[in-house]
Amino acid sequence: MKRSRSGAALIAALLVSSSPAVAAEIDPAPVVAAERAFAADGLELGVQASFLKHSAPDGIVFAPEPVLAHAVYGEPRPKGAPLVWWPLWAGIARSGDLGFTTGPYTFGGEPRGYYFTVWTRRADGSWKWVFDGGAPSDSTGAPPKDSPVAYARLSTRVAGSPAKAMAEVAAAEAALHASARNDVKSAFLDVLAEDGRVVGSKARPPAGRAELETELGRRSSSITYGPLGGSASSAGDMAWTYGVARWTEAEGERRGHYVRIWRNDAVGWRLLFDELLPGPPLKTPPVAPQAPAGVSGAG
């Protein structure tokens, strides 16, 4: 059913009036363009130079703990084998200053997984990423490079300021984390947006609700989460967060990190994207350092 021009104008006016920064019509094209420029420089300049060029001063990567990207990529390195990636799904805030893209990547011609990048528009109008890292998802059968990019739906509500948005998201995450200690699958299904996505395993990214539930079922039934950081759009309609995660498997205790995108929907904040990135296995109990040969351990 077609919406009348007057009805569409009224909706746009309501969205704009709730925050001066909100744009009535916006799509993630600028974020996709930034990602493609980043990827092109990856081939032209090499990984180190392109990651340094396109990352914000406050941009982070997990290595395996969160560290500033400029510290990781600041030292000159050889160009190395080609790292190739391309966006297939993207989203943006209504204020046009926060967005994300994700898609498959290859290294040296071999499929490796799906990247995920969080982008912010800087004061000078340029786009720089504040997080880059992805899951080892199976990219078999993924659409090829330069395929059309699917866009996530825009938010339907705005908080009006980044501070208010982050306070609301912090409350939503606290509730999610409390529930996830008892039942991870149910906890996430309760807060996921209708078009939300969850990744982290080596399986293909879920294409529908049934596959999404299967993906959540691959996680431990109990995970302890702890927030570390993130930020929200100026309109307060989108936020990204990251933090630490701990859980137990048959092999023992595991530790990793999560990265999320939250969107302010009609029913409140909903989880649009979540990835769980396992870190190196923890040693339990810790292994004591070995003394050099010929040196006694006695004091």
* pLDDT computed for residue 97 by the predictor: 97
Ranges of each domain in the chain: 10-151, 162-278
More confident residue, 20 or 279: 279
Residue 275 pLDDT greater than 60, yes or no: yes
Pick the most confident of 79-83, 172-176, 207-211.
172-176
Strand-strand pairing, 83-85 and 66-68: unpaired
Do domains 10-151 and 162-278 share one topology? The answer is yes
pLDDT in tens, 182-204: 999 999 999 999 999 999 999 99
d(CA 93, CA 99): 6
- Enter the CATH code of domain 162-278: 3.10.450.50
* pLDDT computed for residue 260 by the predictor: 98
pLDDT in tens, 39-77: 999 999 999 999 999 999 999 999 999 999 999 998 878
Give Cα 36 distance to the centre of its chain.
Answer: 17
Residue 292 pLDDT greater than 90, yes or no: no
- Whether omega for the bond prior to residue 87 falls within 30 degrees of 0, making it cis, is no
Mean pLDDT of the residues in the chain: 88
d(CA 97, CA 128): 10
- Enter the CATH code of domain 10-151: 3.10.450.50
Phi first, then psi, for residue 250 (nearest 5°) are -60, -35
CA atoms within 13 A on the CB side of 244: 8
Contact 252, 235 (CB under 8 A): no
